[in-house]
Chain A
Amino acid sequence: MSSQQKISDSPINFAEKIIEDVKNSKDEGVLKCVQCGMCTSICPAARHSDYNPRDIIERVLEGDESILADDNIWNCFYCYTCHSVCPVGNSVCEVNQILKQMAIENKIGYDKLYEYMGFADSYFNAAIGAIPEIFFKDIDRDVPGWWDFRLHLDEIRNELELDPPLMPSKETIDEVSKILTITGFKDKIEKIRASQEDYK
């Protein structure tokens, strides 16, 4: 495979856009990457999928905006290990969050977000971030005994002499819902949901 760099190309613009993003806390960290791969060497997502944090930065520095459409960027789940080990003070984790936001603005990745709609529902229904039911099966597979634990949580709490979990009041729930509606969160959720459900 070969590629060309035209005299008018300015690959660094992509990195600059990321540096300017409000989520970036590392100043020029992206530009200082030497591709040492330490991030990839300890990245759990890299071990279990084709996600490669070093490669993310490589493509950003090449100005390769096709990365926004790469399914792999959705495999990072923000453990921040890359952020804490990077020898040049970069944070792929933050860059990843910025890339995802850019993808969403370009109407990419709605299908990935759709899986998380359960979280959004719980904000509206209970004013908390509860684990959506669609993940229960996976969790029970990965964490043996989890389902059993969850079913008997009340009894366990009781045994440990703990009070029942404190849930937000109806007023709180209404208030949170109102905030989420005014700030446009609700519209976004409906847009994502509509795009996927229409599609189906």
Chain B
Amino acid sequence: MRDDLKVGVFLCECGGNISDTIDLDKVKEELDVDFIGQFENLCSLNGRKIIRDAIFDYDLDRVVVAACSPISHEKTFQDYVKPLNPYLMDMANIREQCSWVHDDSKKATNKAISLINASIEKVKQSDAVDPIYCQTPDEVAVIGGGIAGMNAALSLAKQGTKVTLIEQSPSIGGHMAKIGKVFSPVKIAEECGMCLLNPILNELVWNENIKVLTNTKVIEAERRAGTYNLILEKSPRYVDEDKCISCGKCAEVCEVEVPNDWNDNLSMRKAIYRPFGQSYPESYVIDMDNCTKCSNCVKVCSMKAIKLRGKSERIPLQVGSIVVATGHKLFDMEKRPEYGYTRYDDVITQSELGRITGVNGPTKGKLLKSNGEVPKRVVMIQCVGSRDEKPDGHKYCSKICCTVALKNANIIKHKYPDTDVLICYTDVRTPGMFEKYYKHTQENEVRFLRGRPGEVVRKGDNFIVRTEDTIKGEFVEIEADMVVLSTAMEPSKGTEEIAEILNVGTTEDGFIKESHPKIKPIATDVQGIFVCGTAHEPKDITDSIMQATAAASKVGEYNYGGVEIEPFIAEIDTERCIVCGECIAHCKYKSMSIHNDEIYIDPMSCTGCGKCLIGCEQRAIAINGNIDEKIKATIGGVLSKKQKGERMILVFLDNIGYTAADNIGVNRLSYPESIHIIKVISVNRVTPKHIRYALENGADGVFIGEFPGDLMYDEVERKIQGVKNRLIELDEDPERITFSKVYIPYFTGLARKLTEFDRRIAELDGK
């Protein structure tokens, strides 16, 4: 029945890219189909009419487009074959994997014939299947209540989306709340950070679409069909937010004093406290690690808001997408003892200087040393922990420290014009408009020295900063009575934890990795999870807000546009399935779960690898779309065109390997004509049965490539070894099969490996 299908083949010249190397007339002669035509540029809009007319005129059931790579134009031609089902069309890649990698016209033409024939045999086995559309729930979780998370939540809420904002500390606000003053490059002036933050905070609090959960962390996450099931853990506050009126009587009577972390431990607070004046929720909180349970606070609270007993609560939350805004922390100064931070009180960080100069800080805005005097000379040291290749440093530039130093230097100069401020820098990085602020800082008589100090030592009442003035080429010892270190930004602990819980990729530096650093800077490598703010990389407030609002827009695209998924995934025959759960244990992608007493397969994460088939004794699972037969037909289609004396090597690659192979062509490198690449949905779908079928029907070698980052990599490697062992038992040569790592950027390596494998096979055949 499948043999009666009418197949049409459309050959694309690609404006000479194909037809200059491949003899298309010869191709037409060699193939036996119901329709075959040659066209200059099939992907042009004109191609739609050509293909559609031929489908009607010749009553075609199946279509093969022999042109460029399916990576380039599969979607185009799936659309052009309407009214045929999109999956009844297959592309033979005779450009990237033929005309662009081979020079010998005769051999290239023969290979093109084999590739097209493989597609013809494959489409005969294709079934009409429909892509799966997933509609995700439109609720969103924003994780992290700093300036990025707040803006993402607010933007989403204003567009009508329900948002849960999750913050692990007792108040939202993040680093910006404690930063003191901020500046923008356009306004040559510093302004109150809290005054800018507060309207955003208020707007957020009053927005009915936003639910704020403080003292709360995500502890578990599971994804199913675009829905994330999160488990949150909310730690007790011990003070009822709804009753507390923040009168502060409780703190007055509390006898426990501990360092105030919101003030970078530069002042003390009580065990019952409010993190800062404008904190939200507007309620006190008890730091139970330090509370002695004396109950003084309970007795004095007229609102009866305090309960010294409480348990953490687990809250389930179901959302369609997630915005990760878990922020950064600052470099640990214990790693740089040479600067004396842990030994000397007056060696501080820029963050601490921000607290000291903040009017709501430990000195109410006065710049004072630990002895209560105003410093005579403040030396700032840049790039502490940044731009530092030592094992415990960070190779990247933290991006904001130059401008932070300029800002704090200006703040000092405004209030204390007699205090000398010297910034020791390697490069002053003030791109764009920030350069104007740099000039403004110089006008304020802040001094600059180009040199990276090696150490800070105590000498009498002062410090000595040892550095080289690299412009003069002179070693200098600078006396200072306050030293400020511009510490690197690094991923917060929360950022590290959430990456693991959500299984999103991170960079070598531990930040959340975007799905493409150039053109997809907000999506992560997990569909439906987006990143913004300093969880992504070091950036300032403005950039954080821009990325946060962009993330809100990306969530909108995703939530309202739905997601289309290729249908070649596992399917359960519920008649046969006994819900033993064996498949769940086998699935490396965590796609399977039990839902309403049935096995549920998440179409978003299932790759169609077929690992679950092995565990299923009931044979209740199948991969949609007749995949096994299609692979077999493709193999048969290539090999049936093998000519006498021709060497034929079959290469099986999934989307990643296939893209790498295309890159060989795009970069006009070459490999032998014997190499025939077959694209599969998952390399694991190439079974021992397929490999044996190939070797028995004329394949001289089989090359299987897999990306080591694929969760099935080890499995496939083991399987191929099994096939090799079986060949040894049968007294055949296991060297005819090879398994290799493939990487998209390392296409030169793939070209070399293919060439080497061809040579090895030739040697086996004594050629």
Contacts and interface: CB of A to CB of B under 8 A. Distances in A.
Interface in B419-456: 426-427, 450-455
A42 interface: yes
B560 interface: no
Contacts of A42: 338, 454-455, 466
B467 A37 contact: yes
Interface stretch (B140-148, B386-394, B509-517, B623-631): B386-394
A-B pairs, 9 with minimum CB distance: A42-B454, A37-B468, A41-B454, A40-B468, A36-B452, A37-B470, A38-B452, A37-B451, A89-B389
Q: Residue among B388, B393, B469, B475 with the most chain A CB within 10 A?
A: B475
B55 interface: no
Nearest to A48: B475
Contact of B389 (A39, A43, A46, A88): A88
16 contacts: A34-B427, A36-B383, A36-B426, A37-B452, A38-B452, A38-B454, A39-B454, A40-B470, A41-B453, A42-B466, A46-B475, A47-B475, A54-B470, A85-B338, A85-B454, A87-B387
Interface string A85-125: 11111000000000000000000000000000000000000
A9 to B, nearest CB: 23
Contacts of B466: 41-42
Contacts of B390: 85, 87, 89
Given A38-B454, A41-B455, 18 more contacts: A35-B470, A36-B426, A36-B470, A37-B452, A37-B469, A38-B452, A38-B453, A39-B454, A42-B454, A42-B455, A46-B468, A46-B475, A52-B473, A54-B470, A85-B338, A87-B393, A88-B387, A89-B390
A16 interface: no
A41 B468 contact: yes
Interface string B370-404: 00000000000001000111100100000000000
Contacts of A39: 454
Interface in B512-566: none
A43 B451 CA distance: 14
Interface string A18-53: 000000000000000011111111110011000010
Contacts of A35: 470
A40 B449 CA distance: 14
A55 interface: yes
A29 B634 CA distance: 51
B426 A40 contact: no
Given A35-B470, A87-B383, A41 B451 contact: yes
A29 to B, nearest CB: 9
Q: Which of the four size classes fits the interface of chain B?
A: 20 to 34
Interface in B262-311: none
Interface in B459-495: 466-470, 473, 475
B388 A40 contact: no
Interface in B335-373: 338
Interface of A: 34-43, 46-47, 52, 54-55, 85-89
Contacts, number: 64
A41 B455 CA distance: 8
A52 B472 CA distance: 12
Contacts of B388: 87
Nearest to B388: A87
A3 to B, nearest CB: 16
A36 B427 CA distance: 8
Contacts of A34: 426-427
A87 B381 CA distance: 14
Contacts of B450: 37
Nearest to B466: A41
B552 to A, nearest CB: 38
A41 B466 CA distance: 5
B508 to A, nearest CB: 15
Q: Residue among A42, A43, A47, A55 with the most chain B CB within 10 A?
A: A42
A38 B393 CA distance: 15
B336 to A, nearest CB: 10
A54 B468 contact: yes
A41 B387 contact: no
Nearest to A42: B454
A27 to B, nearest CB: 11
Nearest to B451: A37
A145 B656 CA distance: 72
B427 to A, nearest CB: 7
A180 B387 CA distance: 45
Contact of B468 (A52, A86, A88, A89): A52
A41 B426 CA distance: 13
Contacts of A36: 383, 426, 451-452, 470
Contacts of A55: 473
Interface string B119-131: 0000000000000
Contacts of A41: 451-455, 466-468, 475
Contacts of B427: 34
Nearest to A36: B452
A40 B468 CA distance: 6
Interface string B611-655: 000000000000000000000000000000000000000000000
A70 to B, nearest CB: 13
Contacts of B468: 37-38, 40-41, 46, 52, 54
Nearest to A47: B475
B389 A87 contact: yes
Given A34-B426, A87-B383, A87-B452, A40 B475 contact: yes
Nearest to B425: A36
A47 B455 CA distance: 13
A46 B468 CA distance: 10
A102 to B, nearest CB: 23
Q: Residue among B451, B454, B468 with the most chain A CB within 10 A?
A: B468
Q: Residue among B455, B466, B470 with the most chain A CB within 10 A?
A: B470
A175 B426 CA distance: 53
A35 B469 CA distance: 10
B468 to A, nearest CB: 3
Contacts of A46: 468, 475
A52 B475 CA distance: 8
